[in-house]
Amino acid sequence: IWMTQSPRSLSVTPGEPASISCRSSQGLLIYLDWYLQKPGQSPRLLIHSTSSRASGVPDRFSGSGSGTDFTLTISRVEPEDVGVYYCMQAKQTPFAFGPGTTVNI
Amino acid sequence: QVQLQESGPGLVKPSQTLSLTCSVSGGSIDINNYYWTWIRQPAGKGLEWIGRIYNGGETDYNPSLNSRASISVDASKKQFSLRLTSVTAADTAVYFCATCRIPGRTDVFDIWGQGTMVTVSS
C-alpha cells in the first residue's frame, strides 16, 4: 500500500486552522494513524484509527476520513505544532508511512 | 510507564551485519504478549517500517529489505533485537524501536525509543 500526503510543506499562522491530506493506494478501513516528529525527537502518535486522539494530545487536533482519503486538521495552530507530520497505514504489513508534511510558522 | 531504549554500534562496515537491541523497562510487562517493532529513518528523510515480532517469536518484515532483516526477542532480559545483514550505505539511518499499548490495537506506535544513529562506512 502506497501513501501520499499533500501539501508537502505548509506555512501556517498561529491561531489559524490547518489541514493535511493523506491518500492511500488501497482502502484502509479505519487503520490510518498520524504522527508528529519535532526536530531531533522521535515521532509522537497524535491520532490513531482515523479519528481517535492519543493520550495527552490537545483537542485542537482531529482526524477524519474513510476509504483512501484522510485528513488531519489543526483547529487553531500553536507555535509548538511545528514539525513533520506523517500518516501511516496500519491495515496490512508492510506498514507504510506517507512522505511527511513539514509545518512551519 | 513502558520505556524503550535502543543500543548498539554506531558504525558498521559495508557488507557486515548491523545488530541493535531495544531494552524494555517500566511496569510489569510480559514481553511475549506485545508487538515490538523496528522503524528507521535516513537523515533528512521519512520513516520506514522494518518489521515486528509478536507472540513470543512470530515475525513480519518489510519485503523492501530483501530478507536481510531478522528480529528476535529475549524475554528473560526484556529485550528485542534487530539484525540486518549485508549492509550498505543505504542502511545508514536512525533506528527506532517502538511498541503499542493502545487497547484493541497492535499496530499503532504510541511508545518509541529515542533512536540510535547507525552509519555504514568503511
Measured between CB atoms, does B64 come within 8 Å of chain A?
Answer: yes
| Tens of pLDDT, residues B75-89 | 999 999 999 999 999
* Burial class of residue A94, CB neighbours in 10 A (0-12, 13-18, 19+): middle
Please give the residue that has the higher pLDDT: either B18 or B102.
Answer: B18
Q: How confident is the model at residue B105 (pLDDT cuts 50, 70, 90)?
A: confident
Helix (H, G, I), strand (E, B) or coil at A51: coil
Strand partners, B86: none
pLDDT over 90 (residue B30): no
Q: What is the pLDDT of residue B104?
A: 84
> Tens-of-pLDDT digits for all 105 residues of chain A?
999 999 999 999 999 999 999 999 999 999 999 999 999 999 999 999 999 999 999 999 999 999 999 999 999 999 999 999 999 999 999 999 999 999 999
Tell me whether residues A45 and B109 touch, CB distance under 8 A: yes
Tell me whether residues A94 and B60 touch, CB distance under 8 A: yes
Cβ contacts of A63 on chain B, cutoff 8 Å:
none
Percentage, residues of chain B above pLDDT 90: 84
Q: How confident is the model at residue B56 (pLDDT cuts 50, 70, 90)?
A: confident
Tell me whether residues B96 and A100 touch, CB distance under 8 A: no
Tell me whether residues A43 and B110 touch, CB distance under 8 A: no
Whose grid coordinates read 490513531? A48
Please give the residue that has the higher pLDDT: either B122 or B27.
Answer: B122
Whose grid coordinates read 511496569? B27
Strand partners, A97: A88
Q: Which residues of A touch B (CB under 8 A)?
A: 31, 33, 35, 37, 42-45, 48-49, 54-55, 86, 88, 90, 93-100
What mean pLDDT is predicted for residues B27-45?
91
